[in-house]
């Protein structure tokens, strides 16, 4: 039987490209949404797409948040996976550039889906940051175990920095979906996925410059011997697991109208400094040669999460931090060696 056609946004991104790859590998037909025409060749020329491009068609939507933007592209679509979201970047207007766009995108997508009878499920990438107010990080609470029923309601402006705005934007977007479900009672159901700190090899990282971006720029300097002051929550998740969860979430076997936390090593989480133990155990030669330096440190803010519902629903276990970090370190080592070879 021919598989369903799935519409996916955010396919030029770190997680979204892996979602595209897994969906195509599993035989789904994909309608991929990009914002610019030139992004199509960037995607189709990626080595991972070899042999898979016949399964994907592209649609260009320059402004995903414009009302009616999705109206012409949902014909025959059974499921939608919506990952597109702006970065937590510095700007002179956090509400306009970080908080509002995800809400506008959700509205335009969900309103269009109301007019598309073929759509039976929408999967939306939320975040574990929606479980707690940003201010909780400065509290002394290390014992509460947060579940997918928790939702941060401390989202009012003003936003003093990009992180505050991102934190609020993800919580407001998640709440917006709950309200949409109760008010509109759509013919489709919705799953929101709540990844914690996503790590693991990035298919778009081709050199050290493109490697040290986003969360990796916060974590990976530890193996360059850097001592970092600002703590990071000790809740990692492997990017391949996050991507697989997005594709599995369109399957009817996973219950809809639910939110699922995506995080490994739960409930206790990990210590970021254990990255150095992973380096010593799996890459002793690189540690010996100094390519991996074990003198750095990154403080951990402990945060307990319960992802047992997710493991039960998806029927698989999250990859351990040790295995995820081993793969992340392998990508770093390869890029360092490539950069040395090209000098
Ligand atoms: N990475 C993490 O640790 C993490 C953790 C929890 C949740 N998440 C969530 O996971 C999703 C994907 O994250 P990612 O790490 O893969 O991010 P990413 O690499 O920055 O990719 C973001 C994607 O969103 C698109 N996008 C950005 N701004 C947009 C806008 N204003 N309108 C439409 N599309 C826009 C980008 O398209 P262009 O190429 O056209 O800019 C890109 O495809 C996001 O919803 C993010 O909040 C990520």
Report the nearest atom of ligand 1 relative to the CA of 199. 3
Instruction: Report residues whose beta carbon is within 6 angstroms of any ligand 1 atom.
Output: 10, 12-16, 35, 64, 83-87, 101, 125, 127, 195, 197-198, 215
Instruction: Please give the C-alpha separations between residue 152 and each of 128, 161, 172, in angstroms, as whole numbers.
Output: 10, 18, 9
Examine residue 139 and say whether the peptide bond preceding it is cis (omega within 30 degrees of 0). no
Nearest CA to ligand 1 atom 11: 83
Give pLDDT, residue 90.
Answer: 86
List the residue whose alpha carbon is closest to atom 13 of ligand 1.
15
CA of 285 to the centre of ligand 1 (A): 36
Integer Cα distance of 244 and 18 in angstroms:
8
Domain ranges of the chain: 5-200+236-264+304-320
Strand partners, 124: 82, 192
Strand partners, 304: 145
Using an 8 Å Cβ cutoff, are 267 and 306 in contact? Answer: yes
Which residues in the chain show pLDDT less than 50? 1
Task: For residue 125, report the distance from its CA to the centre of ligand 1, in Å.
Answer: 9
Q: How far is the CA of 101 from the centre of ligand 1 (A)?
A: 12
Q: What is the dihedral of CA 244, 40, 43, 192, to 10 degrees?
A: -20
Q: What distance in angstroms lies between residue 9's CA and the mean position of ligand 1's atoms?
A: 9
pLDDT tens-digit readout, 289-298 = 999 999 999 9
Taking the mean position of all CA atoms in its chain, how far away is CA 107? 20
**Cα(237)–Cα(263) distance, rounded to whole angstroms?**
5
3-state secondary structure the chain: CCCCEEEEECCCCHHHHHHHHHHHHCCCEEEEEECCCHHHHHHHCCHHHCCCHHHEEEEECCCCCCCCCCHHHCCCCCEEEECCCCCCCCCCCHHHHHHHHHHHHHHHHHHHHHCCCCCCEEEEECCHHHHCCHHHHHCCCCCCEECCCCCCCCCCCCCCCHHHHHHHHHHHHHHHHHHHHHHHCCCCEEEEEEECEEECCCCCCCCHHHHCCHHHHHHHHHHECCECCCCEECCEEEHHHHHHHHHHCCCCCCCCCEEEEECCCCCCCCCHHHHHHHHHHHCHHHHHHCCCECCCECCEECCEECCHHHHHHHCCCCCCHHHHHHHHHHHHHHHHHHHHHCC
Relative to the CA of 84, which ligand 1 atom is closest?
A: 24
pLDDT tens, residue by residue, 96-116: 999 999 999 999 999 999 999
Alpha carbons 110 and 306: distance in angstroms, whole number: 29
Note the CATH number of domain 5-200+236-264+304-320.
3.40.50.720
């Amino acid at each position: 039987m021919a598989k369903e056609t799935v519409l996916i946004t955010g396919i030029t991104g770190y997680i979204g490209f892996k979602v595209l790859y897994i969906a195509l590998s599993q035989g789904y037909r994909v309608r991929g949404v990009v914002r610019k025409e030139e992004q199509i060749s960037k995607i189709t020329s990626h080595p991972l797409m070899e042999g898979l491009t016949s399964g994907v068609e592209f649609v260009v939507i320059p402004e995903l948040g414009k009302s009616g933007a999705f109206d012409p592209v949902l014909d025959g679509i059974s499921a939608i996976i919506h990952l597109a979201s702006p970065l937590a970047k510095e700007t002179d207007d956090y509400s306009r550039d970080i908080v509002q766009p995800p809400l506008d995108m959700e509205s335009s997508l969900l309103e269009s889906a109301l007019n598309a009878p073929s759509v039976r499920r929408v999967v939306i990438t939320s975040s574990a940051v929606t479980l707690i107010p940003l201010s909780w990080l400065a509290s002394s609470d290390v014992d509460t175990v947060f579940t997918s029923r928790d939702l941060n309601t401390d989202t009012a402006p003003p936003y003093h920095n990009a992180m505050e705005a991102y934190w609020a934007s993800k919580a407001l977007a998640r709440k917006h979906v709950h309200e949409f479900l109760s008010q509109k009672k759509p013919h489709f159901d919705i799953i929101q996925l709540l990844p914690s700190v996503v790590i693991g090899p990035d298919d778009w990282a081709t050199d050290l410059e493109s490697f040290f971006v986003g969360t990796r720029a916060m974590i990976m300097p530890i193996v360059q011997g850097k001592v970092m002051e600002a703590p990071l929550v000790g809740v990692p998740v492997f990017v391949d697991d996050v991507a697989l969860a997005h594709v599995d979430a369109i399957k009817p076997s996973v219950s809809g109208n639910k939110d699922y936390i995506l995080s490994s090593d739960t409930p206790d989480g990990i210590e970021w400094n254990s990255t150095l133990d992973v380096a010593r155990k799996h890459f002793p030669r690189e540690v010996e040669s100094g390519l991996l330096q074990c003198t750095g440190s990154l403080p951990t803010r402990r945060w307990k999460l319960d992802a047992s519902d997710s493991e039960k629903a998806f029927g698989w276990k999250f990859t351990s931090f040790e295995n995820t970090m081993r793969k992340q370190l392998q990508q770093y080592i390869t890029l360092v060696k490539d950069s040395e070879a090209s000098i």
